[in-house]
Structure 1
Amino acid sequence: MNGFERRANQIKEKIKKTTLGMLQASDPKRIRIADISKLANVSQVTIYNYFGSKEALLREVIKDYLDKGTADFEAYMKAGHSLKEKIAYIIFLEKEAYRELPLGVIKELISEDHELTAYIEEQYKNKAIPLTIQMIKEGKESGEISEDVSIENVLVFIQLYMNQYETLLDMAQKSGDLDKFLEGMVHMFFYGVCGKG
């Protein structure tokens, strides 16, 4: 990579980092190229030259954000942790992701961008699901998951948690002790309401 390409990449990363910061604090519809330009200290023309439109910039920022999350998830899943540690990681990862970028922001962007929706579905199908299935198989082999419980059962149970995640986080925040609440949810995931058998 020559000096020009390196500088161009630095400018692009600066624009994307600025945009992500703005998404963390503002409704995507309120974000304007002029505001990004001012905060990133680059011209609006530069932003349009690199990204073409605000929508394309937002799409690339979300893709980068999700790619980083997927890479972190994949690395953790392959690092030799127990099943309980992996499930706790998934739940705490969601908590951290929610703090970094509210779920409502991603939902809003997905609802208006079919390309981003297709990208997320592809990542989920080709990366998240296979990693989760592998985790479940390893849990069954280690005896952490009962042989009476199918892979499909565990996938559905995880999906039920994830479908209600925004509600769970809201309840956790109202509880006054977010970490303790989520640790309780991990415990219930494994042992139900009666405790460990």
Structure 2
Amino acid sequence: MNGFERRKLKKMQQIEQTVLTLLNSKPFSDISMQEIANLANVSKVTLFNYYENKEKLLNTTILNVFTSLYEKYEELLDSNKSFEETYKGILKIKLGMIQTFTSTFLENSMRLYANEPSFFDNDAQKRLDELTLRLFEKGRKEGKINADYDDTLLLMLLHIFSEGMKSPQLQEKELMQYSEQLLQILMNGLR
């Protein structure tokens, strides 16, 4: 990577960090390109050169958050950690995201997805499912997951669990307090 590309990448990271801060604090409809440019210390022209429009900038920023998350998952899956340690690590990353991002950020993400369903596209979901299946395979090899449970069933269970975690009735403090027990119930059932 030459100097120009490094500077461009650094500027883009600065811009996207600014956008994350703004998405955590107010609705995306209230965020202007001028405000982003001012806070990121770049020109508005630079924003449009890099991102084309506000929606592309917001989508790119959020998708890059997910990409970073997937990379952390892959690191854990590629490590020599046991299935249980790997799963706990992934859960810790997810709970860390809950602590990092406000409800405003999550609402912004959901609005973007509702307005543009391709925002979190099939490829992103497919990649997440592939990572999840790698985790399940690790669990099968270690005898932690019953080999009779096929991938479809396990993905369905995980999707149900994930959707339930998004419930507004769950409080962040409770999720943190009971995360270890929730993991044990998920892995061992109610025995």
- Identical aligned pairs, as a percentage? 23
- For the residues of structure 2 that align with 1:35 and 1:111, how far apart are their CA atoms? 24
- For the residues of structure 2 that align with 1:151 and 1:50, how far apart are their CA atoms? 40
What is the alpha-carbon root mean square deviation over aligned residues? 2.1
Name the residue aligned to 1:50. Answer: 50
Answering whether residue 184 of structure 2 is matched by residue 187 of structure 1, we say yes
Provide the TM-score with structure 1 as the length reference.
Answer: 0.83
- For the residues of structure 2 that align with 1:187 and 1:84, how far apart are their CA atoms? 10
Alignment of 1:56-135 (within 5 A): 56-101=56-101, 102-118=105-121, 121-125=122-126, 127-135=127-135
Unaligned runs of 5+ in 1: none
Letter of the 2:124 counterpart? Q
Cα displacement string for residues 29-85 of structure 1 (whole angstroms, at most 9, x for unaligned residues)? 211112112211222222122222111111111121111111111111111222222
How many residues are aligned here? 188
- Matched-pair contact (CA < 8 Å) for 1:103–1:166: no
- For the residues of structure 1 that align with 2:74 and 2:3, how far apart are their CA atoms? 33
Unaligned runs of 5+ in 2: none
Provide the TM-score with structure 2 as the length reference.
Answer: 0.86
Q: Aligned pair in 2 of structure 1 residues 11, 84: CA closer, same or farther (>3 Å)? A: same
**Higher RCO (CA < 8 A, seq sep 6+):** 2
- For the residues of structure 2 that align with 1:114 and 1:67, how far apart are their CA atoms? 18
Name the residue aligned to 1:8. Answer: 8
Q: Aligned pair in 2 of structure 1 residues 34, 88: CA closer, same or farther (>3 Å)? A: same
Letter of the 2:50 counterpart? Y
- For the residues of structure 1 that align with 2:92 and 2:144, how far apart are their CA atoms? 20
